[in-house]
Amino acid sequence: MNARRGFTLVELAITLVIVGLLLGMGASLFGILVKQKKHRENENRLEENAATLVQYALEHRGRLPGDCTTVLRYPKDAYGKPFLCLVAPELKVYSACARRTTSLRVMDQEAGASHENVAFVLVSGGKNYNIQTRATSPVTIYPFEKEDVDDYPDDFNRPEPYDDQVYYLLLAELKEKLLCHRSEERLRILNET
């Protein structure tokens, strides 16, 4: 007698349950990985845009553009929303090397710090496509996922958990990148009296 041995219904059911559990766990991990990838891509875009602004200042004698969104390498964030770019008004006219202060300030509540003399600020609205960071000085950065925040009136009014990604550069850091200390050394005035 030639008997064929196959799978029983119980064995097939157990196999399908195990495969279903594995797929379910994998799908939830996939969503998390996609969100992390977008977040990292956005951080990279912020850093590259900041480098573009520093390069602009190098090419324009220490000044920053009046409308910096026109010179950004990435005008939109990883989620497809245009970046908000704030430049200290003094640096649109005068060289960063000639300035000791700026009127642009940042209150970083996430880091628990307040910074004066900021050269520029770049803001991404994050995954909710809603800029929530205050865009007037002092620019206010809130703790990540702080509830009911919408401090940017030029965008639609939708208070929700804060998810903006913000990059700012201090005047001193910009001057260091522009090698301003070398130009100041060449302009030393000596007076004997």
DSSP string of 103-154, one letter each residue: S--EEETTTTEEE-SEEEEEEE-TTTT---S--SSSEEEPPTT-SSB---TT
Which regions of the chain are under pLDDT 70?
1-3, 182-193
CA gap 123, 86 in Å, rounded: 8
Q: What is the pLDDT of residue 185?
A: 45
pLDDT > 90: what percent of the chain?
63
Q: What is the pLDDT of residue 191?
A: 64
Residue 15 belongs to some domain of the structure: no
Domain residue limits at 84: 35-185
CA gap 76, 177 in Å, rounded: 25
Token pair listed for 91 = 């640096």
pTM of the complete model beyond 0.85:
no
Residue 85 belongs to some domain of the structure: yes
Q: What is the pLDDT of residue 64?
A: 97
User: How many domains is the chain built from?
Assistant: 1
Residue 77 belongs to some domain of the structure: yes
Residue 3 belongs to some domain of the structure: no
Q: How far is CA 105 from CA 101, 102, 118, in A?
A: 10, 8, 6
Residue 51 belongs to some domain of the structure: yes
Residue 2 belongs to some domain of the structure: no
Residue 7 belongs to some domain of the structure: no
Q: What is the pLDDT of residue 192?
A: 62
